[in-house]
A and B are shown apart, each in its own frame.
Chain A
């Protein structure tokens, strides 16, 4: 096949909503875009273990500790699964991690916010995982096969996380004054950053158009954000939490909640590295990656010796 014929075949696959598989020919820009998005997604799962890990030793009950630990484990598993899926695009995991450490690969800005009280664990599950689900459900239809399949698997677990997070918030809202204050404080700090997780408004997002054309992205940032807002505002009211947005109002005509203006300066500020935890998240990852070096070397040396033993026998 000529390059031109390959491109025609690729485009028709996209057109007919068929999946692109690792062995299929694909334009270099497509491969790069999917790889960038998948590694970013994988890194987000892994870096996201840190803010929640911050409370695992202080979880207030045995049950809460089990749920949180299992949840963090799930996120690590998502990371692992996504790294493997991303490797089908021709980059190995150690290179992806190196790029993360060098700042060439990103992770979701949301994990640069600190977890300051126990309700933050509830807020992360409810809002952050809640926002992630909306995005990931849409990605179940993404054009790259391994990514789409990873999303199907991951979405099942994410909805558990969301329910468990909401349960923490609901419990605390039924609790003491201090607990209710913690819950509202967490709501106040996590609400807007969760809305920002969907990325800039469509009119300001330069990635969106190309990604939509290739069906990597299946819904626009603003559409996804609206979906999240509509389902979440009601949930907040049910348990007595106030949404920290004085302009929030329900539009009877459209049946949608309308929010006030998002402070995108804050978003870009955090993306540029000025969040409370940017430095900590990366240096933590680098620190423990480096501390584990001798373990990885021992694994290799041991495997090597075993191989030699086997071939000499």
Chain B
């Protein structure tokens, strides 16, 4: 793998995370618990879509084939998607969605922060843009988790179920492969091992305040960055890519 290829894969990974999570959040459209929150979720989805677009465009500029950002988003199959398993998980109830958001945004925040020092200027600039947004996403979802943890018995119960459901996907966020190795030696990316404790401290702080314990059980599932996914991703892509697949070559 050349550095360029590694950078291409790495940009796709980030873009895929953003797009898949944006698609999941968009499912809440007209389904929010209150109108204000319907709009807030759409807003976060829009932020993530914007980030996805930026990273796909960067990937497209690196690839040698003439593929556009849309080609990359709409014409790759589930084995070619590199997003983390966490973001492709179904929304579940609102507590589950917010838990997923908090766990992911906490990760993205430290990940982007580390990328600020990347030797690759574009990556650094995109991380800087993303960072501002995920900071807000983290705050927004953390507030909900605390509200639920300290709210009613029911909301607490739902939060506990959510963390039990989602915790198994968190190790996957810190997996690395050949792509990371190449980019790390070039000072383009960072070791996710170093980010892990920062993330853990930050999300533990939120969960502590909410009175929610991190589950003991650890049947960690991994595979996202190598194109190995849960069954949910295929369904999500099937819906998302429908028009591009049904009308090859059409311009929209």
Contacts and interface: CB of A to CB of B under 8 A. Distances in A.
A138 interface: no
Nearest to A70: B46
A288 interface: yes
Nearest to A45: B35
A278 B69 CA distance: 38
Interface stretch (A75-83, A152-160, A216-224, A257-265): A75-83
B240 A72 contact: no
Main secondary structure of the interface of B (DSSP, over half): helix
A288 B32 contact: yes
Interface in A259-313: 284, 288, 291-299, 301-302, 305
A291 B56 CA distance: 36
Interface stretch (B82-90, B152-160, B171-179, B225-233): B152-160
Given A46-B35, A66-B53, A288-B31, A297 B152 contact: yes
Given A58-B240, A292-B34, A297-B154, A73 B53 contact: no
B251 interface: yes
A101 interface: no
Given A61-B252, A76-B42, A80-B35, A118 B23 contact: no
Interface in A79-121: 79-80, 83, 118
Contacts of B147: 298-299, 302
A46 B56 CA distance: 33
A9 interface: no
A292 B95 CA distance: 11
Interface in B37-58: 37-39, 42-43, 45-46, 49-50, 52-53, 56
B204 interface: no
Contact of A73 (B46, B151, B240): B46
Interface stretch (A12-20, A171-179, A193-201, A235-243): A171-179
B30 A295 contact: no
Given A62-B73, A297-B154, A175 B46 contact: no
Contacts of B29: 49, 53, 56, 69, 72
B39 A288 contact: no
Contact of A60 (B19, B158, B252): B252
B244 A60 contact: yes
A56 B42 CA distance: 11
B46 A69 contact: yes
Contacts of B69: 62
B53 A62 contact: yes
A295 B251 CA distance: 42
A58 B242 contact: yes
B177 to A, nearest CB: 26
B76 to A, nearest CB: 13
Interface of A: 46, 49-50, 53, 56-66, 69-70, 72-73, 76-77, 79-80, 83, 118, 168, 171-172, 174-176, 178-179, 284, 288, 291-299, 301-302, 305
Given A176-B247, A178-B247, 5 more contacts: A53-B29, A60-B250, A80-B39, A176-B250, A179-B247
Closest 9 CB pairs of A and B: A292-B33, A298-B151, A295-B33, A298-B155, A60-B243, A60-B252, A49-B30, A73-B42, A53-B29
24 contacts: A46-B35, A49-B30, A53-B29, A56-B29, A57-B26, A57-B239, A58-B243, A59-B243, A60-B243, A60-B244, A61-B74, A61-B244, A62-B70, A69-B49, A73-B42, A76-B38, A80-B39, A168-B252, A171-B252, A174-B251, A288-B30, A298-B154, A299-B147, A301-B151
